[in-house]
Amino acid sequence: MKYAHVYALFLVFVFHTSCGQNQTNAPQDNIKTEIKDTVTSQVPNSMVRNIKQDRNGNILIASYKGVFRYDGKSFTNITSTISSPSFWDVLEDRKGNLWFATRDSGVYYYNCKSHPVGRAGFQHFTTREGLASNTVFHIYEDRAGNIWFGTLGGVSRYDRKSFRNFTTKEGFSNNYVNTIIEDKTGKLWIGTRGETFVYDGETFTTLTHNGEAFNNVWSIIEDKKGNIWLGNNGLWRYDGISFTKVTGRGASIIIEDKKGNIWTTGSVNPLGGNVWALSRYDQKSLYNKKPTVTEIMSIKGTGALCGILEANDGSIWFGALGPQSGVYRYDGKTITDFTNREGHQ
């Protein structure tokens, strides 16, 4: 039932963000799709929420059937010894250790120097240890080495010794925390299912534009120029002085690639039903009134596209939920679907 509860929460977000968006027609690249013929039984074939890359170049995939590591040849479930195998996020910290966020079992920590990945040796953090909630959506490490967790019960900060929690008691409008980043000035930006906050180490300030709060922000990034990008009923950019709505297309996840292009996944809400797309905004036109956007992949129906990663080789990895659940890679010409569709769930 917990699985259904969290999945339902995500679908509420999916359908919420698919309504009321401005229409933007986007061309699609001439892209072919192929099924990877070297899949194994280890391949993630469930909802993939987030994708990261470790210092060794391995792709780390947080899915509802475990966290998988892809070494360029095969997939390994590195959390197979954990009894609750459903994960929302994964992080490799600056020391090379791994953190895993689960949907209902708190956080697992793995000291890679002490134990080979895949064997016993996980340290488990739950509400008993001080975590705000056992449902954890997001993990982030700040420049001081503190680990921050966005949970269903607020924000938790772990200083490697103990937890400090920030909730509605500190003025949050909603304890459902989607995303956390630290900008170049050291301020934290926190997106919740309610308002978005900026934290300077002492005070939480609600982020507003023309007197209205930014609500239900699922992704925030800072680009190379220091601009802040937010996904809130479209894609927004903040230059430190004012906000610009770049497009009405959905932006549930945002990344900037090495060339300065902005990539998003989100609902584009065309006529005829719910459509989600992986989109690329060309860096040369980002500051134009109508930036150039290209749809790399789109899906219709009850599914959605989730986390995005630019790998070291420049390829774009992204995840999906629903009928298209699994992990995909785009190399600039071809989308590779790694999912084993036999026994797909």
pLDDT, position 29: 60
161 pLDDT more than 60: yes
pLDDT, position 270: 42
**Over the stretch 53-96, which tens digit does the pLDDT of each residue have?**
999 999 999 999 999 999 999 899 999 888 867 999 999 999 99
In a domain, 172, yes or no: yes
pLDDT, position 45: 80
**Over the stretch 193-247, which tens digit does the pLDDT of each residue have?**
999 999 999 999 999 999 999 999 999 999 999 999 999 889 999 999 999 999 9
In a domain, 342, yes or no: no
9 pLDDT more than 90: no
Provide the mean pLDDT of the chain: 86
129 pLDDT more than 70: yes
Of 171 and 342, the one with more pLDDT: 171
Do residues 212 and 223 touch, judged by C-beta distance below 8 A?
no
Looking up residue 55, the CATH number of its domain turns out to be 2.130.10.10
In a domain, 343, yes or no: no
4 pLDDT more than 50: no
16 pLDDT more than 60: no
3-state DSSP assignment of residue 315: coil
| CA 142-145-150 angle, 5° bins | 50
Do residues 36 and 336 touch, judged by C-beta distance below 8 A?
yes
**What's this model's pTM, rounded to 2 decimal places?**
0.88
In a domain, 204, yes or no: yes
pLDDT, position 343: 42
**Over the stretch 274-288, which tens digit does the pLDDT of each residue have?**
899 999 999 999 999
Residues of the chain above pLDDT 90, percent: 72
In a domain, 268, yes or no: yes
Residue 122: pLDDT band by 50, 70, 90 thresholds?
Answer: confident
Residue where the block lists tokens 């084993």:
340
Of 111 and 257, the one with more pLDDT: 257
Residue 24: pLDDT band by 50, 70, 90 thresholds?
Answer: very low
In a domain, 344, yes or no: no
Give the domain extent around 301. 2-337
pLDDT, position 26: 65
Do residues 45 and 326 touch, judged by C-beta distance below 8 A?
yes
Residue where the block lists tokens 């080789």:
313
Of 235 and 115, the one with more pLDDT: 235
In a domain, 314, yes or no: yes
pLDDT, position 339: 79
Mean per-residue pLDDT, 304-331: 95
Q: What is the DSSP string of 294-313?
A: EEEEEEESS-EEEEEEE-TT
In a domain, 119, yes or no: yes
pLDDT, position 233: 83
Residue 14: pLDDT band by 50, 70, 90 thresholds?
Answer: very low
pLDDT, position 37: 41
Determine the Cα–Cα distance for residues 128 and 228; give it in Å rounded to an integer.
35
Q: CA separation (Å) from 191 to 6, 14, 155, 187, 232?
A: 18, 16, 10, 13, 10
Backbone angles phi, psi at 284, to 5 degrees: -70, -20
Mean per-residue pLDDT, 149-178: 96
Mean per-residue pLDDT, 249-265: 96
pLDDT, position 86: 92
344 pLDDT more than 50: no
Of 13 and 31, the one with more pLDDT: 31
Q: How many domains does the chain have?
A: 1
Q: What single-letter DSSP state applies at residue 5? A: H
Of 154 and 19, the one with more pLDDT: 154
Residue where the block lists tokens 């739950």:
126
pLDDT, position 11: 45
